[in-house]
Amino acid sequence: MRNTKPLGLAAMAAAAALTLTACGGGGGETGGGGETGGSGENVRIGIKYDQPGLGFRDGEEYTGFDVDVATYVANELGYSADQIEWVESPSANRENMLANEQVDMIFATYSITDERDQTVDFAGPYFVAGQDLLVRADDDSIQGPADLEGKNLCSVTGSTSAQKVKDEHPGVNLVEQGGYAECVTFLESGQVDAVTTDDIILAGLASTEANQGKFKVVGNTFSEERYGVGLPQGSEQCEAVNEAITKMIEEGAWEEAVTANTQGADYSYNEELNPPEMEPCGE
Amino acid sequence: MAKTQNVLFDVQGPRARRVTTVLNVVGVLLAAALAWVVLGKLAEQGQLDAAKWSPLFTARTWENFLLPGLWDTVRAALLAVVLSIGFGLLFGLGRLSQQAPVRFVCTVVVEFFRAVPVLVMMIFFYLGLGRSGLVESTNAPFWAVVLGLMFYNGAVIAELIRSGVHQLPKGQREAGLVIGLTPSRSLRMIELPQALTAMLPSLVSQFVVILKDTALGYIITYPELLASGRRLGAGDGNILQVLLLVALVFVLINYLLTALAAWLSRYLSFRTSGPTRAAEGPLAAEEAKA
Amino acid sequence: MSDYLTDFASLFEQYDVLAAFWVNLQLTFWAAIGSAVLGALVALMRISPIASLRLLGTGYVNLFRNTPLTIILVFVVLGVWSQLGVSLSSDFNQNFFNWAVVGLSLYHAAFVCEAIRSGVNTVPVGQAEAARAIGLSFLPAARLIVFPQALRGAITPLGNTLIALTKNTTVAAAASVAEISSLMKTMIEFRPDVIIAIFLVVALGFVLIVVPVGLLTTWASRKLAVKR
């Protein structure tokens, strides 16, 4: 099918671009070859689109801590901001997207676990989060999961972290919703007393303009979630990504990104574990 | 309908009219009182604050969230409609086939997909397609929505086609056979075209079902209207207000489609010997003709 | 192959599939009663002599029939429970179950109403005229003459609505009810190796519930059809 005429090639490229935009539903610039490496091409980065403070899409504007770290790392790898093609990667699809090479890297509250390490590679971690509780700003009665006996707790449907709390404290009433935004609405109205998931996700929710000052993160984490950069198995970029993250931390840009994205949430990260040490690559 | 309705009661006399008026006023007052209590509660919770409502009417809300979401809803629904018509034709004709084994297989397939909840199919395709690598996992939610809708609604349409053909007057088929057509040619040339015309309103009603069911896509992260609305609500802290708006958009579109189906059924009743009453599908509404 | 079957069997030990199905059946049962009562009431309103009631009935049907069920279920919990603070049970989980039943009833009542109305269409005008002639006013005429015949004519669409309701209970997860579809999602996420088997179990479960209902309504609609 090689067509040597330049016009034919251009037409084919145009057609391909059209199809791609049509399929992507306007998801930004369309990718070039997709292979990692050269600075002349785009890099496809998977993020969450629906988590304010971490990865959030507002038209063509992408905001959040994950986005900031991803932009910094991509920049260090030789991609300018407009060479980044953002792709939505919901939790259930992250491994698949890496295995099928539809993204080059994933920054999407992606905890490094042994199980996942078997199918994908991880660089980082770039943040160590932990399961925590979000409560109303004036509520001092809840300091940790033990205080939840007889209280109402909200999390998203099928969340294992919430189930863990319920298993350990059977007196907890658990309500499950489609998203954390609903949980925050419940919390504000007083029907639930706490929302649980990773601390930085809670902080991100609480720091949106509408929620600022209304909630606080308890700050008593009871698990350790190391957020890594998901890479396709056998990727050669792990070292470079680690270097970029280390540089970001040393330069102070990392600290800035955390602060900027959790403003107004009365939140401070776990300083014993953060900023994190990079783990060696290639295990 | 209108006839049955009117003979059930006399035109109200002066006394009954007075009673009705009084009751109407009482009803409106009760409703207003209820609304007052509800609005009071909402105001107490801060849900009536201008800050929660005014973002709904900005260009950003529509350009960045709702319109792209609506487009994704319509895109999936349209493709699902086309595919389910294909599926429906294939299996609907299969169920009318002269070959017993073909009929049997098609019956089993149709009954199976009619019985399985759309959401269950969507979850299966979403998680299954993503893993199998058959489609790009970025597109897995889209295809899961489309396929889930296709299998269910295709089965419903297959049933519509079968019942449409069965509901034609017997004379149509007999006339076809008398002029020397084989049963299958009579089916294709005489019965099916009329059955299809007769079922067009039902098809439009089925489109309402499909459009509504795309909203299940948010559960499998397909960025349709409901999902986009929730994302917007998550960012702006006004999810309740956004949901209300999204519901309104759905009601409006579906209401128009339902009205179209009703109009079609009246318009087409002159063009076929079959009954054009809309909707026979499990979820499809029995269309009002009053 | 036998390995696969063992894997598959372990699934039932790990997850309580039957209990989840039982939740769906309970939802179906209560919502069927709720939507039947509410739907009959709305149908009555739509054929009543009072214009304002007819308007109310029409508005109800158009509103609830055209809204996605998911939105209704999210709304009862998000709007009514969380904002207005209306609880339907002192037990925390029972409250959500009850709200899911309310949401399912509200939605399906619109379809029940339309099914009954289509049944009313099958009643010949002569029946209503005869009822009027022997001096029955609207409510007795509707209750004694029209509705009994209309219900017989409405069996097929009513059965279809019941089937739709059974399947739609899978959306109740949106109102925080742990039922089969959310369990299925969890099962697939943790046991992707037996994804096909999981799907087939859930799908066949519904086939087992739905097909008899379909056969029963077909049989009943023939048996009870008013010969004219």
- pLDDT tens for the 283 residues of chain A, in order: 344 444 444 444 444 444 433 443 333 333 333 444 445 688 999 999 988 889 999 888 899 999 999 999 999 998 988 899 999 888 888 888 888 888 999 999 999 988 888 888 999 799 999 999 999 999 889 888 888 888 999 988 877 777 788 888 888 888 888 888 889 989 988 899 999 999 999 999 888 888 888 898 998 888 888 999 999 988 888 999 999 999 999 999 999 999 988 887 778 888 888 888 888 887 5
Provide the ipTM.
Answer: 0.86
Give the torsion through C-alpha atoms of A69, A70, A71, A77, to 10 deg.
110
* Subunit contact B41:C85, Cβ cutoff 8 A: yes
Which residues on chain C are in Cβ contact (under 8 Å) with B221? none
What SS3 string covers C32-49?
HHHHHHHHHHHHHHHCCC
CA distance C17 to C20: 5
- Token pair for A176: 């499950």
Tell me, yes or no, if C129 comes closer than 8 A to chain B by beta carbon.
yes
Q: What pairs with residue A51 in β-bridges?
A: A55
Q: Closest to B64 (Cβ–Cβ): which among A59, A92, A96?
A: A59
* Subunit contact C199:B7, Cβ cutoff 8 A: no
> Which residue has 């409560």 as its token pair?
A135
| Domain chopping of chain C, boundaries | 18-180
pLDDT digits (tens, 9 = 90+) for C67-82: 999 999 998 998 888 8
Q: Where are the alpha helices (DSSP H) in chain A?
A: 6-24, 65-76, 94-99, 114-117, 160-168, 180-189, 199-206, 238-251, 253-261
As a whole number of Å, the end-to-end CA separation of chain C is 58
Which residues on chain A are in Cβ contact (under 8 Å) with C173? 157, 176
Helix (H) or strand (E) holding B92: helix B67-95
Which residues on chain C are in Cβ contact (under 8 Å) with A178? 74, 174
Q: What's the CA angle centered on C156, arms C155 and C161, to 5 degrees?
A: 95
Which residues on chain A are in Cβ contact (under 8 Å) with C85? 189-191
List the single residue in A with minimal CA-CA distance to C175.
Answer: A177
Q: Is B205 exposed, middle or buried (0-12, 13-18, 19+ CB in 10 A)?
A: buried
List the single residue in C with minimal CA-CA distance to B27.
Answer: C52
Is residue B251 within 8 A of residue B268, CB to CB? The reply is: no
DSSP A186-225: HHHHTS-SEEEEEHHHHHHHHTSTTTTTTEEE-----S-E
Tell me, yes or no, if C171 comes closer than 8 A to chain B by beta carbon.
yes
Q: Minimal Cα–Cα distance from C15 to chain B, Å?
A: 17
B218: in domain: yes
> Which residue has 């063009």 as its token pair?
B271
**pTM reported for the whole predicted model:** 0.85
Distance of CA A60 to the CA centre of its chain: 18
Tell me, yes or no, if C174 comes closer than 8 A to chain A by beta carbon.
yes
pLDDT digits (tens, 9 = 90+) for A56-109: 998 888 999 999 999 999 999 989 888 999 998 888 888 888 888 889 999 999
Q: Closest to C96 (Cβ–Cβ): which among A158, A175, A189?
A: A175
Helix (H) or strand (E) holding A45: strand A43-47
Q: Are strands A84-88 and A61-63 parallel, antiparallel or unpaired?
A: unpaired
pLDDT digits (tens, 9 = 90+) for C150-160: 888 888 889 88
Tell me, yes or no, if C192 comes closer than 8 A to chain B by beta carbon.
yes
What subunits make at least 3 CB pairs under 8 angstroms with C?
Answer: A, B
Where chain B has pLDDT below 50, the residues are 1-4, 278-290
Contacts of A95 (CB under 8 A, 6+ apart): A116, A119, A120
Q: Which of C122, A67, C74 is nearest to B215 (CA)?
A: C74
Q: Which of A171, A161, B247, A167 is nearest to A183 (CA)?
A: A161
As a whole number of Å, the end-to-end CA separation of chain A is 42
Chain B residues in contact with chain A using a Cβ-Cβ cutoff of 8 Å: 45-46, 51-52, 60, 63-65, 68, 71-72, 75, 126-127, 130-131, 133, 136-141, 218-219, 221, 223, 227, 230-231, 233-240
Which residues on chain C are in Cβ contact (under 8 Å) with A186? 78, 82
pLDDT at C124: 85
CA distance A233 to A209: 39
- Token pair for B35: 């609304």
Q: Is C227 a residue whose pLDDT tops 70?
A: no
Give the torsion through C-alpha atoms of A194, A197, A202, A203, to 10 deg.
120
Handedness of CA A192, A197, A198, A201 (dihedral sign): negative
- 95-114 in C: which are within 8 Å (CB) of B? 110-111, 114
B209: in domain: yes
Tell me, yes or no, if C206 comes closer than 8 A to chain B by beta carbon.
yes
Q: Minimal Cα–Cα distance from A234 to chain C, Å?
A: 23
CA distance C39 to C57: 10
Q: Is C136 left (phi over 0), alpha (psi -120 to 50) or beta?
A: beta
B174: in domain: yes
Q: Closest to B221 (Cβ–Cβ): which among A59, A90, A208?
A: A90
Phi first, then psi: give them for residue B51, nearest 5 degrees.
-60, -25
Contacts of A51 (CB under 8 A, 6+ apart): A64, A66, A109, A180, A201, A204, A205, B234
Which residues on chain B are in Cβ contact (under 8 Å) with A87? 138
> Which residue has 């930004």 as its token pair?
A28
Which residues on chain C are in Cβ contact (under 8 Å) with B128? 195-196, 199
List the single residue in A with minimal CA-CA distance to C97.
Answer: A175
pLDDT at A90: 86
pLDDT at A34: 40
Is residue A7 within 8 A of residue A22, CB to CB? The reply is: no
Which residues on chain A are in Cβ contact (under 8 Å) with C97? none
Work out the number of other CB atoms within 10 angstroms of the CB of residue C219.
12
Question: Within 13 Å, how many C-alpha atoms sit on residue B79's CB side?
Answer: 14
Cα B226 to Cα A46, B270, C129: the distances in Å are 22, 39, 48
Domain that holds residue B214: 71-268
How many domains would you assign to chain B?
1
pLDDT at A13: 43
Q: Minimal Cα–Cα distance from C174 to chain A, Å?
A: 6
pLDDT at A72: 93
Q: Which of A92, A123, A119 is nearest to A107 (CA)?
A: A123
Q: Minimal Cα–Cα distance from A211 to chain C, Å?
A: 16
Tell me, yes or no, if A176 comes closer than 8 A to chain C by beta carbon.
yes
CATH of C18-180, one of 3.30.310.50, 3.40.50.2300, 3.40.50.720, 1.10.3720.10: 1.10.3720.10
Which residues on chain C are in Cβ contact (under 8 Å) with A177? 77-78, 176
Tell me, yes or no, if A119 comes closer than 8 A to chain B by beta carbon.
no
Helix (H) or strand (E) holding B282: none
Which residues on chain A are in Cβ contact (under 8 Å) with B52? 210
Q: Is the peptide bond before A125 cis (omega within 30 degrees of 0)?
A: yes
Tell me, yes or no, if C97 comes closer than 8 A to chain A by beta carbon.
no
CA distance A274 to A263: 18
List the single residue in B with minimal CA-CA distance to A94.
Answer: B137
**What is the interface size between A and B, counted as CB pairs within 8 Å?**
88
Q: Which of A70, A106, A61, A72 is nearest to A87 (CA)?
A: A106
Give chain B's length: 290
- Ordered by where they begin, the domains of chain A are 28-129+225-261 (3.40.190.10), 131-217 (3.40.190.10)
B120: in domain: yes
pLDDT at C164: 92
Is residue A219 within 8 A of residue A267, CB to CB? The reply is: yes
pLDDT at A21: 39
Residue B149: give its domain's CATH number.
1.10.3720.10
Q: Across residues C126-144, what is the average pLDDT?
A: 86
Distance of CA A77 to the CA centre of its chain: 20
**What is the interface size between A and C, counted as CB pairs within 8 Å?**
38
Cα A108 to Cα A46, A121, B26: the distances in Å are 7, 14, 56
pLDDT digits (tens, 9 = 90+) for B142-172: 999 999 999 999 999 998 888 888 888 888 8
